[in-house]
A = this chain, B = another copy of it.
Amino acid sequence: MYIEKVKSSRLTPESLEIKTFGNTFADHMLVCNYKDGVWGEAKIIPFQEMSFSPAMQAIHYGQACFEGMKAYKDENGDVFMFRPEKNFERINNSAIRLNMPPVPKEVFMDGLKALLDIDRDWVPPTYGMALYLRPFIFATEPMITARSSEEFMFCVITAVAPDYYAKPLRVKIADKYSRSANGGVGYAKAAGNYAASFYPTKLAREEGFDQVIWTDASTHEFIEEAGTMNVFVRINDTLITAPISERILNGVTRNSLINIAKHNGWKVEERPIKVSEMKAAHKDGSLKEVFGCGTAVVLNTFSAIGYPDETLDLADMPMEESWGKQLKKQLMDIQNNKSEDPFGWRVKVEKNLVNTL
C-alpha cells in the first residue's frame, strides 16, 4: 500500500468539538483506481481535491454508490470499527446492481484499517461522537455515451461526527412520491436514490414534518423506510420491521437492533407492515413507539406520524419503558467498548498497522 502522509496535521481541539456533520474531514483519504479490468494499488494520500473531466461518467449517468460506517474510541484510546464485513458485502452488492466492479476485500478492509490507524487522532474520545467513514465507488471514464463506464475509483474519506441530540422526528407517510420499486435499485446505496428523495422531503418539511415515511410505490399501503433510515414499529410487546427486499436497504443498524432485541428476549417480526395497521394500533392504544435507525443517527424516535387525513401523536417514553431508547444505549455501549460484545461485532484497529501493510 502506497502511503503519503500530510506534512502537518489540520487537527485542532476544535475539530473534535464540532456540532454539525459532514464537512470536517480528517487528514487523509484512500484512493484506488480501476482500469483495464483490474483494481490498481490502494493509496493513502492527504485529503485533497481531485481533477476530473467534465465528461466524468458518474455525474452524467450516476454510476456511484457508497457506504456509511463509524469508528469509535474507547476510554483507553483504542479505536474500533463496527461490523465492517457488513459494509464490505453491501458496497459490493450495490456495485454489482449498478454494473460496477466489486472492490477486493483487502483493499476495503486493509485500506480502512490503515486509514484509521494513520488518522486515529481524529476519532473523537467522547461517547456519542465518532469518526464517520465514507467508502464510495464512482465511474470516472470521461465519455458521454449512455453506457457503463470502464474506469472507476474506490475512495474512502472520513469526517468527524458530532454527538447531536437526536430530537424526536415528525414523519409524513408518503402517499404520492416513492423511493423505490420492485426490480429497481432501492436495496442498493445508489447515489441516485438519495437525489430522488430530496424534493419529497422538502415538500414534507413545508408541511411541518422532518422526514418522509416511504411506502411501496404500487399501493402506498406498506411501510418501507423513513428518510434514509429503516423503520421499527412496536405494537404492545412486539417489534415489527419490514423484511429485507429489493426495495429496502439491508441496514447494519437494523440488523444489529434485531439481534440485540432478540438477545433481550423481546419479540421481533420481520414482515410487511401496513400503514393502516399502524393507524389501527394507535387508535386502540397498542402502538407504543415507532423509530428509525441508521449509522448516522443510530436511532431516532418519532413523535408524530402524518397521514393524509390526520396526524397521530406519539408520547415520549422514559428510558425504562422505551425499547428504542434502551436498544440505542445497548448498541452504542457495544460500539464504544463500554459493555460486553456478545455478538463479536467490534473490530479493533491495531496501532502501527500501517508498517505491516
Give the interface of A toward B (CB within 8 A): 20-23, 25, 29, 47-55, 58-64, 66, 96-99, 132, 134, 136, 138-139, 142-148, 155, 157, 159, 174, 176-185, 190-196, 198-200, 202, 217-218, 227-228, 296
Contact = CB atoms under 8 A, between A and B. Distances in A.
B62 A191 contact: yes
A178 B59 CA distance: 22
Contacts of A198: 61, 63, 98-99, 147-148
B228 A146 contact: yes
Contacts of A183: 174, 176-178, 200, 217
Contacts of A179: 184
A305 to B, nearest CB: 19
A191 B22 contact: no
Nearest to A158: B144
Number of copies of this chain in the oligomer?
A: 2
30 contacts: A20-B145, A21-B145, A23-B142, A23-B144, A52-B52, A54-B155, A55-B159, A58-B191, A59-B59, A59-B191, A60-B64, A61-B195, A62-B192, A62-B196, A96-B199, A98-B199, A146-B194, A148-B202, A176-B183, A177-B183, A178-B183, A178-B184, A180-B181, A180-B184, A181-B181, A181-B218, A182-B218, A185-B196, A190-B196, A217-B218
Contact of A184 (B144, B147, B196): B196
A49 B51 contact: yes
A335 to B, nearest CB: 20
Contact of A62 (B25, B174, B178, B190): B190
Nearest to A215: B183
Contacts of A196: 62, 97-98, 184-185, 190, 192
B185 A184 contact: no
Contacts of A54: 29, 47-50, 155, 157
Contacts of A53: 49-50
Interface-centre pick from A22, A52, A145, A195 (highest chain B CB count, 10 A): A195
Nearest to A220: B183
Contacts of A228: 146
